Chains A and B, each alone.
Chain A
Amino acid sequence: NAGVTQTPKFQVLKTGQSMTLQCAQDMNHNSMYWYRQDPGMGLRLIYYSASEGTTDKGEVPNGYNVSRLNKREFSLRLESAAPSQTSVYFCASSASGVFVETQYFGPGTRLLVL
């Protein structure tokens, strides 16, 4: 099993460009999450999807949109990239959105916005 996969691994954008970060999991998990990791800030939740067909905002949703395409896939879209969105983005999944469920993380996407 691949677990949680993310594409691309690295991307450079110019301010105002758009892009979609892809995430897929093969563990039949119900819940999926997008985080961003910035130096000295830890991980902050952008959006999450407790189950297929639902999405909810996390701590820092501004400037992002998400799509839960099916149970396996959860994409994150930047419509008009800004330098403040330079970060490392992690996708995660868990069996359900209920407490104590372990979250499994992908390897991350490094995004640089110039």
Chain B
Amino acid sequence: GNSVTQMEGPVTLSEEAFLTINCTYTATGYPSLFWYVQYPGEGLQLLLKATKADDKGSNKGFEATYRKETTSFHLEKGSVQVSDSAVYFCALILNQAGTALIFGKGTTLSVSS
């Protein structure tokens, strides 16, 4: 089946630390990959996406590269801020009409000053 596996949290970092949140996937087809972020009390927002192998998605200092050979889409940021504290969801969607997003379980990030 199709699934997304994320590293379990919570991840606790100091401000300006380097962030990596691991994400790997299993897909029967050829997926597009996403990172969504959920700030406290809010809905999910798209953070970045990549639609084909070796694509790099980036936004707000976050980056993730679509690695087909390792079926991974790890999220990175060079210097986190307190305002980055949130829950991060990795997700995939198959490139077929009528399908929907498949989410990982989410990783909570807590950044302290």
Binding site for B on A (CB under 8 A): 4, 33, 40-45, 48, 50, 56, 58, 90, 92, 97-100, 102-108
Contacts and interface: CB of A to CB of B under 8 A. Distances in A.
A50 B97 CA distance: 9
A94 B104 CA distance: 20
B95 A100 contact: yes
A67 B101 CA distance: 20
Contacts, number: 59
Contacts of B98: 50, 56, 97
7 contacts: A40-B105, A41-B105, A43-B103, A44-B103, A99-B99, A100-B51, A107-B41
Given A50-B98, A56-B98, A100 B44 contact: no
B49 A99 contact: no
Contacts of B32: 99-100
Contact of A43 (B46, B89, B97): B89
B93 A99 contact: yes
From A43, A56, A103, name the one whose CB has the most chain B CB atoms within 10 angstroms.
A43
